[in-house]
A and B are shown apart, each in its own frame.
Chain A
């Protein structure tokens, strides 16, 4: 930066060789960097403060909830109450957590099983209807959820899928399938078809070539797509909110119910919110590098 500035001055015909002047430029540049660092810190204070505060709040005993902001005697009672340890649970949050886990894993498994061969076909062959199929899938990403949820609400009650985990796995395909097909397709497209052709010449069958040559090469993409799809399924709210009752409810819906009731218990709300954001945050750490491609469905390679 300082160098650039010096060069700028030089090209403008200013002598920059004197020590005093160089020091001045350097100081100006350094001050600017400090200012920009300050702005960076300000943004991250805004971005991270809610998480820090929720953590503090979740450790607060009920008795000190309204009296203090930062000074209190921390306790794990909030977490115990949320998880029903000691038999005090009012909302079966542990079951909701389990539901979220089963439904998200189930939805991603189905999408991977179905989406992997489809993504490969989309990347390797242009066939009749392939474009419109791809764009139909993409349009799911932007479809207003309730357009599908409301009719399913009617259908599910008739075929007894209302408030079941299977019902959620089905509707979560709206989230996970387009994501997985589009991301994997972009990874397959990055591989030259000559790979498979070489394998075919070596006597592999098409299936063998796919499993032994192609699949290992897209494994990072496969993991990233699967994890990102899991995060989105875990974070879904409108689907389980409308399509489940007390049986198959997920953490996103369950956490909101801590704010209901006659006396909202904010420390429990904070504990529930924190518990439900741990799995996606941990998984996100593993796919940071793939996020740009994943979040834009392969539109930006990042």
Chain B
């Protein structure tokens, strides 16, 4: 922010009109492009108050009817529930596992030095490609997964046949892809921690758990929170993993909001209904982001105060 202050003073000194226009000229192309993306978004919001389908040539304004239909229907609440369940469980699993992996990799041993470079691989693979790979591994006929896991009693495990199994499977795939994201962030946090407090704790004879709970965790908290925010908001709009594995099945057990919206809008050609679902999801994401960003701000302030 210091930079901004200097440049403000500078631009005042430079004075003339064309110079004050400079930031606007530089951002103009970006503004135009942004408008090119916001326009369909606003149009989509407008469509959600119409009865627009693929076959209706002249759609008309129907007010809140799409939303009333959605709120009257049980399928909506099922979708909201499974979306929230997935977001909470996947984020929790990835946060705990990712933090654990980061703590393991923060040590320097032969093993960590060899394997650290492989950490980012799953993260750089398209989620849909990851899902395809796991789906093949979960096939009953050739699937390697049940075979490999037969020592722990998973021989013949039906990975996608029941709602619970399918839910576990999408969490597993999502965790495979995104645990490195959390680990990478927390590892960066661990490596930026100041040494002095830890040395002091060691000299004082603090036990590992004491140091971890009272020193490591509070100082890492801002990093973990950034990871949680990104993961939670992305999980709310999960599409690739669910669609790629079961298309929302078995039955409609995994119809998360974005998969449901896709089904309404594209295969069922009811654009307006699908977009109403999307606008509701957007409100969820917006509320979640507001709350989480506020928590993050507080955590960063507290960590800086330490």
Contacts and interface: CB of A to CB of B under 8 A. Distances in A.
Most buried by B among A51, A142, A144, A154: A144
B49 interface: no
B26 A40 contact: no
Given A154-B271, A291-B184, 18 more contacts: A33-B107, A36-B104, A43-B104, A47-B180, A57-B136, A69-B147, A117-B29, A125-B23, A148-B44, A151-B43, A151-B47, A153-B265, A154-B52, A197-B10, A235-B125, A235-B129, A280-B126, A281-B124
Contacts, number: 285
Interface in B187-239: 188-189, 192, 202-207, 223, 226, 230, 233-234, 236-237, 239
A4 B105 contact: no
Interface stretch (B68-76, B86-94, B153-161, B281-289): B281-289
Interface string B35-46: 011101101110
B128 interface: yes
Contact of B124 (A192, A252, A280): A280
Interface string A125-169: 111001001001101101111111011111100000000000000
A234 interface: yes
Contact of B136 (A44, A269, A291): A269
B37 A174 contact: yes
B102 to A, nearest CB: 11
Given A117-B26, A125-B7, A288-B120, A237 B126 contact: yes
A118 B282 contact: no
Contact of A148 (B29, B41, B97, B262): B41
SS of B interface (majority): helix
B126 A242 contact: no
B29 A118 contact: yes
Interface string B100-121: 1100110101111001011111
Contacts of B278: 144, 146-147, 150
A299 B41 contact: no
A256 B247 CA distance: 12
SS of A interface (majority): helix
A198 interface: no
Interface string B133-144: 111110101101
A155 B41 CA distance: 12
A126 to B, nearest CB: 5
A208 interface: no
B303 interface: no
A273 B122 CA distance: 13
Interface of A: 4, 7-9, 11-12, 33, 36-37, 39-41, 43-44, 46-51, 53-54, 57, 65-66, 69, 110, 113-115, 117-118, 120-127, 130, 133, 136-137, 139-140, 142-148, 150-155, 170-171, 173-174, 177, 181, 189, 192-194, 197, 206, 231, 234-238, 242, 252, 255-256, 258-259, 266, 269-270, 273, 276-277, 280-281, 283-284, 288, 291-292, 295-296, 299-300, 302
A296 B30 contact: no
A145 B237 contact: yes
Most buried by A among B7, B105, B124, B239: B124
B33 interface: yes
B71 to A, nearest CB: 19
B204 A296 contact: no
Chain B interface residue count: which class?
Answer: 35 or more
A7 B22 CA distance: 61
Contact of B282 (A39, A147, A302): A147
Interface string B53-66: 00000000000000
A153 B127 CA distance: 23
